[in-house]
Amino acid sequence: MKVRSNRLDGLGTTIFAEMSALALRTDSINLGQGFPDTDGPDSIIDVAVEALRSGRNQYPPGLGIPELRDAIVAHQSRWYGLELDPATEVVVTTGATEAIAGALLGLVDPGDEVIVLEPYYDSYVAMIQMAGGIRRPVTLRPGGTARGQAGLRPRGTDFRLPIEELRAAVSPRTTTILLNTPHNPTGAVLTEDELRAVAAVAIEHDLVVISDEVYEHLTFDVPHIPIATLPGMRERTLTISSGGKSFSFTGWKIGWATGPAELVAATMGAKQFLSYVSGAPFQPAIATALGSDADYFDAFRAGMQTQRDQLCDGLARLGFDVFVPDGTYFATTDIRPLGHEDGMEFCRSLPELAGVVAIPHQVFYDDISAGRSLVRWAFCKRPEVIAEALTRLERLTRV
Ligand code: PMP
Ligand code: GLN
């Protein structure tokens, strides 16, 4: 009996499942998997409840309900000036995860090369492999020379995209660049210059860009620029986002992809055989959420920024070398100032050492050495939970 295909070779169990299970088993504070410990607005939950009660419980249209597709189109126009046709240029998916899967299965042929930013979100690797593609990582590297010193890193020494390495990664087999900004796990937000350089490479080599922008509303004092807004890019970019991150409903799994009709059709072509359709009663709720006024987004971002500073300041005080992120809800630290070398060993022993769970970067690299001593911490947790985690982590400095 054959029990497994080689499409799963090397993929193992996702680090997020491993670390969340570890947190539960050891009763640790989970600063690993990125999910908020506070739900999104009650008024949005009310819309979902009303949908459940009013019979919106059967298969919705495969592309998504018109109301949600219109809301996604309105959102892209309002925030970015991107104009889309709701009939052909939007598809609703089961989280951004399914949009990524659908896009890669629908656009990548066996042997095609896909350039991906490293450290990479784990589902990119899995789906490139399942599509038969070959990943070509381009590593985001800390700028400046200061490394491994305790405290907050000075600005300009965070993770940046090495453009020459991106250029060098293109081969005649390259078909796609898979971008992620704001970037998980580093928290880097690509600058306009970096995005222009990526756009130039994509246009020169006639590549498709798949741009994962799930943290689009979580940037701190820097703008989020969708690459689709740059000249020549709308026609070659599939942009992906999700209601999970922007509205704190990660369990609802309502995501979407937008872009030119052919790219959306390819994604839909695969999506129809993955989930067929996505969460009917949650779609009207996310449609309402997308229309939230600017105050909602401002307050959401400001709260997260305060939590970012609380966590980063606390980790710096404890002696970590801290990269303060410009976006996402994750902060990265180098653990070497505390006498640790290996992030995986550190994270596996952290529940015992301090009753806290975090995520080792190294699982997101082909060449583990580049991320061996880096660890990611989520700050999408209530301030009192972050405070308790920091208190527990003081135990690390007493050994
Ligand atoms: N992309 C990135 C960069 C993520 O961090 C996540 C996790 N939320 C996803 C995609 C998946 O999003 P969703 O939960 O909507 O499937
Ligand atoms: N995106 C979240 C993270 O990076 C959760 C992902 C997941 O559980 N697959 O932590």
Residues 181-231 have pLDDT tens digits of: 999 999 999 999 999 999 999 999 999 999 999 999 999 999 999 999 999
Checking if the pLDDT of 147 tops 90, the result is no
Q: Are 357 and 30 in contact (CB under 8 A)?
A: yes
- Write down the pLDDT at residue 144: 66
Confidence of residue 156 (pLDDT cuts 50, 70, 90): confident
Per DSSP, 11 falls in state T
Residue 50 belongs to a domain: yes
Q: State whether 32 and 49 are in the same domain.
A: no
Residues with Cβ < 8 Å from 294, sequence gap 6 or more?
none
**This prediction's pTM:** 0.97
| Other CB atoms within 10 Å distance of the CB of residue 7 | 11
Per DSSP, 205 falls in state T
* The domain boundary residue, chosen from 235, 270, 292: 292
Residues 324-374 have pLDDT tens digits of: 999 999 999 999 999 999 999 999 999 999 999 999 999 999 999 999 999
Q: Is the CB of 288 under 6 A from ligand 2?
A: no
Which residue has a Cα nearest atom 1 of ligand 2?
34
Q: Is the CB of 184 under 6 A from ligand 2?
A: yes
Q: b/e map of 97-106 (b: 16 or more CB within 10 Å)?
A: bbbbbbbbbb
Q: State whether 156 and 214 are in the same domain.
A: yes
Q: How many angstroms is it from 34 CA to the middle of ligand 2?
A: 5
Q: State whether 49 and 193 are in the same domain.
A: yes
Which residue has a Cα nearest atom 2 of ligand 2?
34
- Write down the pLDDT at residue 73: 98
Q: Is the CB of 51 under 6 A from ligand 1?
A: no
Q: Is the CB of 94 under 6 A from ligand 1?
A: no
Residues 14-68 have pLDDT tens digits of: 999 999 999 999 999 999 999 999 999 999 999 999 999 999 999 999 999 999 9
Q: What is the CATH number of the domain that holds 148?
A: 3.40.640.10
The count of structural domains within the chain is 2
Average pLDDT estimate for 155-161: 85
Distance CA 232, CA 381 (A): 39
Q: How many angstroms is it from 145 CA to the middle of ligand 2?
A: 30
Report the chain's mean pLDDT, rounded to a whole number. Answer: 96
Distance CA 330, CA 117 (A): 17
- Write down the pLDDT at residue 398: 73
Residues 122-134 have pLDDT tens digits of: 999 999 999 999 9
Residue 1 belongs to a domain: no
Percent of the chain with pLDDT over 70: 98
Residue 216 lies in domain:
44-292
* The domain boundary residue, chosen from 292, 307, 337: 292
Checking if the pLDDT of 145 tops 70, the result is no
Residue 11 belongs to a domain: yes
Distance CA 264, CA 246 (A): 22
Residue 129 belongs to a domain: yes
